[in-house]
């Protein structure tokens, strides 16, 4: 019996690739080169299933290729803003993602960025490496303590809640949150806000946990409404923030600092942000632990196996 052919766009953890190879005829990417448009088109034409990552744009043209063979796109990632879901639905292509398994790793990184921003870690480490450290100084490089401060969570889904739990129970922060739909109760204290504006005005640190690909929630106007001296952390998607307005607010000192793991046009990072000392910039590593990336890959494989076995899909997107 011929085995379904799966095209994998990037190198995956060894255990995941081994499992794929056991079950499928698999086209891997041992060199880990990002796929070209032509490469993705060829994959859509020659494979039964595609396993892309969140950096691969699976747009309407790809999904509407007249000789497309792919019937399932098993995204390596919980966010699916890289995939045109309406076009997939119209074309009858199944889309799956990898929720839950990356919640803790991403919340850990959000907490790390909260600490990095408020304790000025990037700025002070850079000074030390430059040789600008003259020894301990009682008033040198003071940051902001977290205890009793308000963390504003924008988007109280799985990762928002996991971040809030860490901040409340581990660091003694007060939690305020805004979520489009009613949510809770939680196993930590948290106060809902009626609007994004109210949340931004109240929070000493704002952490973003919203999907990308929609209207931008953190506009220049809303950034201007953040509390003076506040911090912003983004482990969600770069396009949820007006990056130019954020850079201006950080440069003027209206915002004290930021920690960003995601950018609107990855891997491009706006030069205005690169030039600022008071922002920690990371290359989209929220889920980047071996354990988590392996679990993400295994869940993508679970989805592929279920699809080709005609079984219920563990994590289908939409429906
Ligand atoms: C996701 O899964 O959406 C993350 O951004 C990458 O792990």
17-53, pLDDT tens digit by residue? Answer: 999 999 999 999 999 999 999 999 999 999 999 999 9
Pocket of ligand 1 (CB under 6 A): 54, 77-79, 102, 286-287
For residue 246, what pLDDT band results from cuts at 50, 70 and 90? very high
- Ligand 1 pocket test target in 53, 77, 80, 317 with most atoms within 8 Å of CB: 77
Please state whether the predicted TM-score (pTM) of the whole model is above 0.85. Answer: yes
CATH code reported for the domain at 103-281: 3.40.50.720
CATH code reported for the domain at 5-101+289-309: 3.40.50.720
pLDDT tens, 258-280? 999 999 999 999 999 999 999 99
For the record, the structure tokens of 169 come out as 């129970």
For residue 1, what pLDDT band results from cuts at 50, 70 and 90? confident
Where in the chain do CATH 3.40.50.720 domains reside?
Answer: 5-101+289-309, 103-281
State the distance from the centre of ligand 1 to the C-alpha of 177, rounded, in angstroms. Answer: 22
Diameter over CA atoms, the chain:
73
For the record, the structure tokens of 114 come out as 């909260």
As annotated, the active-site residues are 237, 266, 284
State the distance from the centre of ligand 1 to the C-alpha of 102, rounded, in angstroms. Answer: 8
Query: Which of ligand 1's atoms lies nearest the C-alpha of 292?
Result: 7
Alpha-carbon 84 to chain mean position: 18
Residue nearest to atom 3 of ligand 1 (CA): 79
- Ligand 1 pocket test target in 104, 286, 288 with most atoms within 8 Å of CB: 286
């Amino acid at each position: 019996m011929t085995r379904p052919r799966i095209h994998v766009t990037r190198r995956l953890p060894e255990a995941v690739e081994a499992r794929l190879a056991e079950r499928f005829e698999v086209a891997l990417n041992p060199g880990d080169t990002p796929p070209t448009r032509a490469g993705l088109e060829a994959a859509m034409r020659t494979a039964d299933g595609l396993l892309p990552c969140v950096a691969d744009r699976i747009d309407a043209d790809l999904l509407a290729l007249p000789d497309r063979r792919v019937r399932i796109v098993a995204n390596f990632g919980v966010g699916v803003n890289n995939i045109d879901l309406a076009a997939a639905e119209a074309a009858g292509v199944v889309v799956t993602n990898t929720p839950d398994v990356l919640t803790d790793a991403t919340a850990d990184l959000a907490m790390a960025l909260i600490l990095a921003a408020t304790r000025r870690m990037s700025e002070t480490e850079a000074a030390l490496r430059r040789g600008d450290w003259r020894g301990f100084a009682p008033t040198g490089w003071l940051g902001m303590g977290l205890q009793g401060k308000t963390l504003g969570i924008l988007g109280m889904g799985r990762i928002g809640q996991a971040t809030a739990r860490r901040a409340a129970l581990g660091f003694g922060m007060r939690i305020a949150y805004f979520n489009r739909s009613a949510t809770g109760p939680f196993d930590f204290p948290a106060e809902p806000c009626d609007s994004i504006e109210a949340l931004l005005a109240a929070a000493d640190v704002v952490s973003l946990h919203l999907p990308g690909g929609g209207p931008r929630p953190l506009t220049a106007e809303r950034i201007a409404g953040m509390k003076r001296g506040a911090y912003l952390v983004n482990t969600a998607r770069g396009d949820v923030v007006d990056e130019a307005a954020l850079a201006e607010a950080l440069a003027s000192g209206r915002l004290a600092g930021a920690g960003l793991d995601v950018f609107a046009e990855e891997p491009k990072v706006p030069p205005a942000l690169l030039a600022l000392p008071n922002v920690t910039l990371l290359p989209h590593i929220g889920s980047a632990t071996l354990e988590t990336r392996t679990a993400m890959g295994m869940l993508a494989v679970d989805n592929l196996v279920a699809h080709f076995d005609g079984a219920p899909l563990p994590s289908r997107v939409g429906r």
